Structure 1
């Protein structure tokens, strides 16, 4: 088999069973593309990273929390074998061979029946680069070719040479609201040059699939009320890797300084004498309402908008928000991290003078393929949010602008 080149092909996996064995970093990097392909994904693993666990909680994948067992690949069309148990990987590969299931192996590419190409995307085009002969396999070279083609497509030159310069230090990169195309050009460039990426769950996860295999990805996912990586541990990881002379990217959702704790990280780096670059990102406070057809300001309707955090309730002594004053404003109120507190928030606003009929929109997973908008009023939003099973991340917009749209009358 080693004497013959691999045959490149594009798999149409929508609605077809794909089995992923192992819930670690390899699965975390490959699952988003499988989800985007519409595959019926079955994850078999005793454990999973917080980001993979979040995909299961969101219903994007089905997770069977156990080790691999004979028969797991029987109904699969395609399998990703990525466990740390070599014996289990060998057994799964043998099962795949018997059932004629194409299998990718993260631990031993030579024993796999399929290889994952280096992929990139630009305006509806997927670029996949594959080393077709085993003896010439060089993941870094393959990824570099992919990057050159994608960059050429993006800047219109196509044949422009791809050049990278390593930048030791830390870049706090705002990844935008979720759509990978909404990261800034500078943010994407720094991500491409990184040796280490420390990524949040709310960052544009599809970009992780574009990283070359040698890039270390550290999962700093903060799942609400679940497992999390303490801020101090994140700061220490940034400092440790930067001191090793590595180019480190802290990939955050939205903008680093809008409820992103970016300044805490910048201060820690400054105290440690580490160079830090801040790359602003498109904030979800504006982009997500816009993607849902809601302008945060509109002539004759709202002349201001206010952004607040709803992660603590109005009656919580830790709250720094002046809710009574907000109730008196006539503009737009944008609330982040407030899904589970929206009942108390709405009640407080009404109690201090806001009309119960004020329109409210909850926009979940804004700018991504899973985006959905749920409308209500201040009087009904608590009940509607529960009935519609609205879950984080979601941006909540309160105000008359919710009723304004391309075909609105306001």
Structure 2
């Protein structure tokens, strides 16, 4: 290969690299601006975002995203002037078809002053993200180290708050059509003179796809590993509460089907006001919501007109009716085993139907199969006379294992148990 060829090839690569870098620089600023505009449509009037490039070179871009929270819209009783402003500043390195950004949060001065009052001069965190136009991907992370706050409540009570840190990562398509995230919030502990609570690890994992302006489709999994509350009035202990959801489009891509499974390993509540200690173990709720109009989450959203917003949502909900399947509701409540499943069908309805006494109920049918273990009448002795009466009327029966079972139905205004009339509602 001749020297002329080598020099020519090298110059060609330099020109190509420069061209790709210039394209990447321009594309990055354009896409961020477009995404900010899309977000403003979805988030208005609760909050607004603005984008500003503070410095731009061939291989670098410094910019900032300003998030303004409208507290009047968020809490309903703040004055027009009450707005919280948070800024995210980005220092980005531009390479051919690759952008790497280090980001910083700029909190409102009031928040910074408040943290300083509690001896938290600076929260140690690392935040950043990158875009790869070669692979059409975006990725980011936020990691916050643990920190402590020692202060007094408004009533003068001393307290300590230990925040254990956060670790979140996300990745997806650069165009924003798909986004996956995984993370853990390591919890926090609040301790005062005669009370404390401890929120343990919260872990989550989601794989979402866009539908319109929002990430509605896909799966999500979240686990609250531990919660402890200890006050003079009550003691609460919760272990391993998980929520799993899956949202899909119907075959004609006009409706949403949503399924959710919630499971709880254990919940114990011991309250002074309740002589009966509450214990719930191995609880599970599996539910499906089918035939949901996908436009229910789309504009218009009447944030400043709650009644109009409710009417808008109800009209969309009722347009083609609804089917709700309770595939499983089970658990062990104070040593009584409970298990049930149900289905609720709602024929098409309008907002006007919800404004009359039986307008919506006239369109509802449901069926519920329920089981309770035979120790029901010993653990809850006060309901034994009622169970005995239902057994005599064959509204409740005992199966060969001795468990109590019943099938409750509602249709045409009649509520029945094992096909025996309980009540004629209308």
Where on the TM-score scale, by shorter chain, does this alignment land: which range? under 0.3
> What's the TM-score once normalised by structure 1's chain length?
0.24
User: Which structure is higher in RCO with an 8 Å CA cutoff and minimum separation 6?
Assistant: 1
TM-score (norm 2): 0.24
Structure whose residues are more often strand by fraction: 2
Instruction: Specify which structure has the higher proportion of helix.
Output: 1
